[in-house]
Amino acid sequence: MLGWSINLFRVRGIQLAVHASFFVLLAWIAYEGWQLAGWIGVIWSVVTLLTFFTCVVLHELGHSFTAMHFGIGVRRILLMPIGGMAEFEEIPRQPMRELLITLAGPAVNFLIAGILWLVVGLRTDAEYPATAVGFAQFILHANLVMGCFNFLPVFPMDGGRILRALLASRMPYLKATFWAARIGRTLALAAIAVILFTSWIPWIERPQDRVLPAILFAFIGVAGEMEYRATRRRDEEDAHWRTVVARLSAAPAGTEPPQLSVGPIGPSQA
């Protein structure tokens, strides 16, 4: 399903793509704007959404440029209705590198929020008038929320990756990934239950407002489990080839190498 995307342009060699489902969100936001204020509402809502996702792209570029600094290739940045995702060629197994790459994304959001705070100040209420200042205030708050939200320890969100990096400094990488994914899945399920069955979240008033956040946490839970399995599979492949090399190296000189049964090994996933 991640292949249902449209390529837009490249930034320093990184392909920016948008998932086809994003246009469903765009249409829904435009319809909501039409219901509120006709064509003016459509324009305001669409511009606000596109500006918000521009901040999402900048967040992902923060991760990507830091990864490239460490020599890690970045295939693309994919925008979806639930956010963005940078696809790396590999995830560094050095805890400090993963920590720096992870922190770079929220740091971009806090930088944007800081710049806007210097320009327009910070309002404490949730009212955003239909003015340039009101628009800037909304983007400021959105970046603060985005930066803080990503620190939730729900793997593979940024907070979950920070947790994995900290665990990996104390235990084997695969075990750290297992526990980060297990904790993340538990918290994701708890978040879905809170979103769907409680009224604790004041800004969720209508039933339809619960759908997208629930889908977001469901996707995060599944993605965390998929990354753990990919990490385990890569470790198994590496162990398999180490065994192959060791057996070939142990063969006496002048003898035929031992016959090894080597099954098909797929490409590793990061």
Q: Residue 52 corresponds to which tokens in the numbers above?
A: 């918000």
Helix axes 22-69, 95-120, angle to 10 degrees: 120
133 in Cβ contact with 120 (< 8 Å) = yes
Q: Residue 212 corresponds to which tokens in the numbers above?
A: 């997208």
User: Closest Cα partner for 160 from 86, 224, 75, 117?
Assistant: 224
Q: What are phi and psi of 74, to 5 degrees?
A: -120, 115
Locus of tokens 């200042």: 133
- Which of 32, 60, 87, 237 is labelled catalytic? 60
Give the count of beta carbons closer than 10 Å to the beta carbon of residue 127: 8
Please name every residue paired with 77 in a beta bridge, in sequence order, or none if there are none: 16, 86
d(CA 16, CA 258): 48
Examine the residue annotation and report whether 60 is marked as an active-site residue of this protein. Answer: yes
Residues annotated catalytic, as ranges: 60
